Chain A
Amino acid sequence: MPDEKPLTPATDAVKALARLLHEPEIESEPREHIQAELKSAGIDTAALLKSVREKINQAKSRQRLATAHERRQALLSKVTRLKATAARGGTRLLDQVKELLDAQFAGQQQAAVLFRKFEEAKEEDLQSLLDDIVLLDAPDDEEHRPGT
């Protein structure tokens, strides 16, 4: 019991009864009851679910794009480093390139083609080779990104 009498005890009692009426425990309530009440209130849960599903799919696409972007940035940075090494005539360059291509494009035929091109490439060809590698790495989603 509260120490002080509320200013509107009767209204507070009615509010409490309204809460009791409209907020029963619902964990064990049969689903049919819930569906009937929602229907009578005009709530279309199927439409609500459809809209949520669409937003979930959009969120998944955003995550795929973010992952692809991160992967692309990481790859670009590696290729750029290799290019710098190539310019200095590094000794293990070809091995490093092969490792990179194997790691990024395992199982893809283009990787072998790119490696052959890299073996034969002159310094000035490296930029176009880099572009080829980036293009090969770009997933479908990336191509559909606005502005690309």
Chain B
Amino acid sequence: MSELTPDALAKFEQTVTDEFIERLSIFALRRTRSRYWRGVWDGHLPGGNGARDIVAEALDDVLFGRRTWNPEKNPDLLDFMRSVVNSKISHLQTGEENLHCKLAHEEKDEEGREHVEKLPTNPATTADEQLQANEDETRNSELIFLFYDFVAGDKLIQGIVGCTIEGVTRRAEIAAALKVKEQEITNANKRLERCFKEFRKAHADKNPFKSPRT
């Protein structure tokens, strides 16, 4: 374990600007939130504290030599830092329930109450996890097909949802399956978000995942 060399430290200092921190933070925030699938149905989504702490810790790791950055091997520091952040987020997740316990506890509402989404205080047993997974699957199955029909007016969005139901989940694979450019899938993101928003409004009564604070 060794700290950055003087040259690497100088490069680090030069590269870590306000925009760099913003781009690394947004990566951490979205990466963290993407793990909270309940957020799709308006369930709990973590605030920024967890993501901010992960970014700070990742930068410390490099500065104090817990992670070695070699500018010659990894000239793109942002890319390297994203991989450090990514690895930290992955380590936080040892299972969906564990993820909810660990990350949700960090979030508090305006009155300081913690949101843990009806999770047990103790780590779930495998049987508990299985039961929860089965319940989630039943509910998700109802909602996802309802949503598929809901977006029938937008063929691209419906195609994307259809792909995920079929098990085609990566952006590039979805683009290939729908015979469109990958960028079109990215560009459809805002529309997808809007569709979810409208769906949640239209089917609020059928949504068991809705967070009590939203």
Contacts and interface: CB of A to CB of B under 8 A. Distances in A.
Interface of A: 1-2, 5-26, 31, 34-35, 37-38, 41-46, 48-49, 51-53, 55-56, 59-60, 62-63
B165 A23 contact: no
A49 B9 contact: no
B34 A21 contact: yes
B88 interface: no
Interface in B38-55: 39-41, 47-49, 51-52, 55
Interface stretch (B66-74, B112-120, B133-141, B200-208): B133-141
B56 to A, nearest CB: 6
SS class, residues of chain A in contact with chain B: helix
A11 B33 CA distance: 16
B186 A25 contact: yes
Interface string B157-192: 000110011111101000000000000011001001
Interface residues of B, number: 60
Contacts of A1: 166-168
B144 A49 contact: no
A20 B19 contact: no
B22 A35 contact: yes
B60 A55 contact: yes
Interface of B: 3-4, 6, 9, 12-13, 16-19, 21-23, 25-27, 29-31, 33-37, 39-41, 47-49, 51-52, 55-56, 59-60, 63-64, 133, 136-137, 140-141, 143-144, 160-161, 164-169, 171, 185-186, 189, 192-193, 196
Nearest to B187: A24
A135 B124 CA distance: 64
A13 B165 contact: yes
A10 B16 contact: no
A70 B176 CA distance: 59
A125 B4 CA distance: 42
